[in-house]
Amino acid sequence: MTGAERAAERVYEELLSRVGEANPRPRLEPVRRLAELAGSPQLSYPVIQIAGTNGKTSTSRAIESVLRAHGLRTGLFTSPHLIDFTERFQVDGEPVGGNVLAEAWEELRMPLEVLDAQLTAEGQGTITFFEALAVLAFAIFADAPVDVAVIEVGMGGEWDATNIADAQVAVFTPIELDHMAQLGTEIEAIARTKAGIIKPGTTVVTAKQTTGALTEILEAADAAEARLYVLGRDFELIEDRLAVGGRQVEVRGLHGHGYDPAFVPVYGAHQAQNVAVAVAAVEAFFGAERPVPEEVLEEGLSQFTSPGRLQLIGNEPIVYVDAAHNPHGAEALARAVTESFAFSELAIVAGFMADKDARGVLSALTPICDALFFAPFDSPRSLGPDMLAELTESIEPGTLTEVAESLPDALEAARFWANQAENRAVLVTGSVILAGEAIQYARNEGWSTA
């Protein structure tokens, strides 16, 4: 481990001593106070903010890629990370160095100590992991400095720590049921919370939504007197077709201009939708009255990647990872696999958090797989593999299942199965943590292509 890597690891360990990001506090006032003590870095540059249930990270990365191709110095904040903590903070398309991260953390240490003491005296909880993380990201981007920051919401929207920024453009990916313990059990309630990122003067861009979710976004936009652009109404995906190594997409933008077909090196029709939303968001950022130059769009989309989303990590046999962890994401993944690949048989290595809808995810995935290998992963919230095997039997009786004691065991068993016949493949899915551990294991064992 290099000195920079050790520096980043120390910052991460200190952050982990705080209340975890799985348990957010529905508040903003303490985060604003921390940012003020740190010099209000979120006011140093324009912000594009992305909320939603699925597709947030991919859409954020596509927006950033096009902005960077336009010549802007970009900041990108996403969560969670797959392998390295520094993945969450990117400047000009690259994770920040560990030393840069450590220096920003040192500057934030004193404001944190002061505010933690104040909050304790007031009877409030101290600053959480994600609250500190968001202010740290804003500070890193201010120090860079960046021309624009693309900020992915952590959870919800209205009270999410990233919402201390007044976004110039608020972007919504599809809103579905997830994090129901924190956000509610109805899509309308979840959408209402996410729509809290809309501020006066914001321009709003949204993917196609259910009627209930779109109504909440419309009402929030009206209340803020914000201009709203909706996929399928104000801009559209004209064409989306398979191409070697990805997709070819054609978008009509906010100005009515139809862009030339562009290659995007990602899989799945849902990614084409994400790209259409990203293009509209970039147009909205620049004012929406003129199209993005064709050469900029072509370059930005051709360099767009989405790690952990149908990412190839191994050959002989083929192994993909995908971080789908809720039913809506799993349904999109199943469609993408069916459409994009022609495997004769597919094994899935799966693991889930206990608070996720494992039944819904498995119901979407069992129709496309021939064998299921269940594994635990490094989280106290990891659902027991035995329970998953029982759940699968109740969903699809007779499905070939195997319970492993560890992810390496499950991966090796699935790879062995795949090597027993021609045109078999392996897909690892169910959790971001599981996907990250699979990528790291493949690298450690020397069979990774990632």
The reported pLDDT for the residue numbered 8 is: 93
Length of the chain: 450
SS3 383: coil
For 388, the token pair is 């998953």
Model confidence pLDDT, tens digit, residues 376-395 = 887 777 778 788 888 888 88
Give domain limits for the chain: 3-302, 311-445
Task: Output the pLDDT for position 202.
Answer: 95
User: If you average pLDDT over residues 326-347, what whole number do you get?
Assistant: 93
Q: Average of pLDDT values for 292-304?
A: 96
- Using a pLDDT cut of 70, give the percent of the chain over it: 98
- pLDDT for 341: 93
Q: For the segment 216-251, what is each residue's pLDDT rounded down to a tens digit? A: 999 999 999 999 999 999 999 999 999 988 999 999
Residue 185 is predicted with a pLDDT of: 61
Give the model confidence (pLDDT) of 341-363 as tens digits: 999 999 999 999 887 888 999 99
- Please say whether the beta carbons of 46 and 138 come within 8 A: no
With residue 33 as reference, give the H or E element that holds it: helix 29-37
pLDDT at 359: 92
Render pLDDT for 34-91 as a digit per residue (tens, 0 to 9): 999 999 999 999 999 999 988 999 999 999 999 999 999 999 999 999 999 999 999 9
* CATH code that applies to domain 311-445: 3.90.190.20
- Topology of domain 3-302, CATH: UDP-N-acetylmuramoyl-L-alanine:D-glutamate ligase (3.40.1190)
Query: What are the φ/ψ torsions at residue 312 (nearest 5 degrees)?
Result: -75, 125
23-27 LR contacts (CB < 8 Å, sep 24+): 23/128, 24/128, 24/130, 24/154, 24/155, 24/156, 24/159, 24/160, 24/161, 24/182, 25/125, 25/128, 25/131, 25/159, 26/156, 26/159, 26/182, 27/159
Q: What is the pLDDT of residue 399?
A: 86
pLDDT of 186 above 90: no
> Which of 17, 4, 40, 62 is CA-nearest to residue 299?
62
Tell whether pTM > 0.85. yes
